[in-house]
Structure 1
């Protein structure tokens, strides 16, 4: 068996620090050789011990986790794994070439996946390293955690997304039901309500257009009028009209007018989808 990778762990919460240490000690590929409770101490330990890996909390007294990494020179910078209770710093962390971003509380199974990722980076000749680089790039562009992308890769499910996949609406019996977003053909405004159209029926939802639009993937739902959104996957054809307007056909005798303010963008979008 190859020699274990050395690690320094950093957290200002004693219980969190001890819990992380105990879990890592159950993973034979990692040896914890030091621990710190603030940013300055973390930097000193990296200079003194030159660990292979740094498990680093983001919110620390003094220098925070991001500043610790920025302060370390590249020749002594270990592989960095951020361990945090807050997910909003993930993109910034990966911009610093972090190996992983683990949300607290980190269980043993999650840490084992992190260590697998560390070993792939440590041994770049391994073919799985390329998979990690691709997943990391996809995670950065989509905002989806790498761990979730890994689970997706091992499943037969569609690619996960940070956008809403279901709308919670009330049916005609005033019961809350879940409407899959992919079933929506188009949406138009009716006063303070939105009419959400599917193949089968029209649902009335009390929500503003702006808020509803923010919950939907802008690559799929495009504005064709100030009060209309359309699912571009449902468009069958487009026909030009006068005054730079156009008409979309969605099938089943459904036609939607595209105002001239949006017509050119829709035309370019459809042309880009042509083979």
Structure 2
């Protein structure tokens, strides 16, 4: 901001004249205009867009407090109240948004100090607006930025009936090994063969979503309904649609660890909920 644009509102011509002369003595200030507080005052302020308003309080048509309340709320000028009455000065002090108040007759030193405070208030406002603008720009850039690519596969391709069929990973809930193939079972009840080993498939899947429970089986973790002991004493996993798969002995520890961590997380969430 190179200079402060000032507009004077006072119904007394001599008071306006005195302020005009003193403003010439203040560096970095330019007088944009003046008004006696008549009906056209708000329109002139809206047109000229001053930075600072030197505003009398007691005026016949519209008092200074009411005028300041009617200013454009989007970008109002900083108000410096000017009054001849002490009780008005106290009201002006309580008025939110005013940079200062001055008692008539106004002295040059006090006017200069009040304008300095007004300038500081405007600079702070500009800085806040700039920060808000930059924050919005940053949020927009983040929203437009492409998502970080996942290191895990998002889809498989199956060859069937002479055509390649895409199977999205988020639809797969169970994978069974069939020799050099894997059979992908999807949430819509379909199944598709993909030519690759179960070991390779396991390495391609997100371990937060899938777990290998047998040398021949991978299941989606969120679809596990029950873990139980089977007729022969071995562990079994029951999925939420009733499908049962055996748990291999070497894979049982990792499944137990998963279940334990999930129970701990659930207990922690419940404790937090109860506390709040």
Q: Highest CA radius of gyration, 1 or 2?
A: 2
* TM-score normalised per structure 1: 0.43
* TM-score normalised per structure 2: 0.43
